[in-house]
Each structure stands twice: as structure tokens, then as C-alpha cells.
Structure 1
Amino acid sequence: ETAQHLLLDCTFSREIWGLISGWAGQNLLNPASWPGFDTVLCWWLGRVEAAKPLGKPARKLIASLLLLSLWEIWKERNRRTF
């Protein structure tokens, strides 16, 4: 189990990201719109870069939402495992 699989690629995570995308109204959060990436960091930087046209306040909001969501997925994994 890699960080990339756990946070981005597993069925549970992809479902969560789809729900967040719908809630936020941002297709850049939809897993179907994600290009290939090597690491979670590359993915995060790519999503923040994709939010650039939205302006600085929205980009900061997207970056915060991404980090919070990653953290919550991680905590849920730990609750279920331990």
C-alpha cells in the first residue's frame, strides 16, 4: 500500500474525491480529470497549478481543501486499520 494508492487511487479515495469535486463545483478535483503523476506531491502541485486561473484566493482555498481532504482520508484509513 503506497501513499499514492491510499490517498488518491483506491476506490474509497476516488469516491471521496468525486464527492468533494461535486460539492466544491471544481472539476480539477475530479479523479477523472487527473493527468498521470508520480507522487502525491506532484499530484498536489499539479492541482494547485490547475487552480491558478481561478485567482490567488481561490487557489489558496483549493490548496487548503486538498490538504484537509488528504489528512481526513489518512485518519479514516488509520481508524479502520488500528
Structure 2
Amino acid sequence: MAYELDIDPAARAQIAALPPEGLGALVEAFEVLSLVPERGEPVNAANPTGGLYQLPFGSGRGLITYLLLQDQDRVDVLVVMWIAFT
């Protein structure tokens, strides 16, 4: 079963600003999210079933924060961050 990815407008803007290596890594991370979104870590360790998760990508340079809506087979991507080294 594949989950539908719904990308928040703010996350779309963050994705548009990613460098090429970040985009490639993000594509791989989105594949993981669409198949096994439970692979991420809960944002709140005190509430591990709360539905809000984070998934590192790009060798730890990126981080996706998302809401897992299992009953709807949907993943809402809320934030995409990338650390650029100068």
C-alpha cells in the first residue's frame, strides 16, 4: 500500500530552495515516506503515537517534518529543512 503525499505550500517553497543534491536526496526520502512513513522518529518522544514525525535525509543534512494520517493513507509534509555548508 502506498501513502499519498500532501505537501504543504510552505514546504513547497522550502523544496524550491533546495540545492540539486538536496533535491535528489529528497526524492529518495519521499519514496520512503510513500511506502513506510513509520520509519521516521516521533517528534515528541512522550507521545510516540501522536502522528507527528521527522525523517532525516541526505546523509543527515536534511530533515522532513510530517504528519502521518494512517486512517486516510496520507502523509502531510509540513516542513523540509536543509543545512548548507559554506
TM above 0.5: no
Between the two structures, name the one with larger relative contact order (CA 8 Å, sep ≥ 6): 2
TM-score (norm 2): 0.30
Q: TM-score, normalised by structure 1?
A: 0.31
Task: Determine which structure has the larger strand proportion and give its number.
Answer: 2
Instruction: Choose between structure 1 and 2: higher helix proportion.
Output: 1
